[in-house]
């Protein structure tokens, strides 16, 4: 059971921005969310949350943090990638403090289409002040 959910979780991942990308508070970033085996209908929410350390970030499924994006998730096939993905542009809040932050995405599949899926990437946000 644990193995099955671990494999399932890896089906969804954030291909961009790469881990530890340095971003200024208030700047925009394109989130490339890949799903290896997309289902039919889904909604996605993307949030940002402070991390205590590299190994201590909140569980994305428990706490998405400040929501930056909510909308339909309809990944498509593009020539530059092996798997279907969708790009979403989000803005890092301008008041965000410097430090490690977790950008998390939760995909909620349509009724009966499987359990929620989550992915995350750790970013290095630099305060604009
Ligand atoms: C999605 O975003 C990535 C990273 O910014 C970019 O390289 C790629 O061309 C974009 N794809 C589409 C279809 O816009």
The 3-state DSSP class for residue 5 equals helix
122: closest CA among 31, 20, 33?
20
pLDDT in tens, 53-83: 888 999 998 999 999 999 999 999 998 888 9
pLDDT (0 to 100) of residue 5: 43
For the chain, the helix, strand and coil percentages under 3-state DSSP, each to the nearest 5: 5, 50, 45
Confirm or reject: Cβ of 16 under 6 Å from ligand 1: yes
pLDDT higher than 60, residue 37: yes
- The two tokens of residue 37 are 């085996």
User: What does the mean pLDDT of the chain come to?
Assistant: 88
60: closest CA among 69, 47, 73?
47
Confirm or reject: Cβ of 87 under 6 Å from ligand 1: yes
- Residue 26 DSSP label: T
What class has domain 2-126? Answer: mainly beta
Domain positions in the chain are 2-126
Burial of 108 (0-12, 13-18, 19+ CB in 10 A): middle
pLDDT higher than 80, residue 20: yes
- 82 C-alpha to ligand 1 centroid (Å): 13
Atom of ligand 1 nearest to the CA of 16: 4
């Amino acid at each position: 059971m644990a193995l099955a959910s671990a494999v399932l979780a890896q089906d969804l991942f954030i291909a961009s921005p790469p881990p530890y990308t340095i971003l200024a508070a208030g700047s925009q970033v394109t989130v490339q969310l890949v799903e290896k085996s997309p289902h039919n209908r889904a909604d996605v929410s993307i949030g940002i949350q402070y991390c205590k350390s590299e190994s201590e970030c909140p569980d994305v499924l428990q706490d998405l943090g400040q929501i930056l994006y909510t909308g339909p998730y309809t990944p498509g096939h593009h020539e530059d990638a092996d798997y279907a993905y969708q790009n979403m542009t989000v803005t890092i809040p301008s008041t965000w403090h410097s430090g490690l932050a977790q950008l998390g995405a939760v995909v909620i599949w349509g009724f009966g289409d499987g359990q929620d899926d989550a992915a995350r990437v750790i970013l290095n946000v630099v305060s604009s002040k």
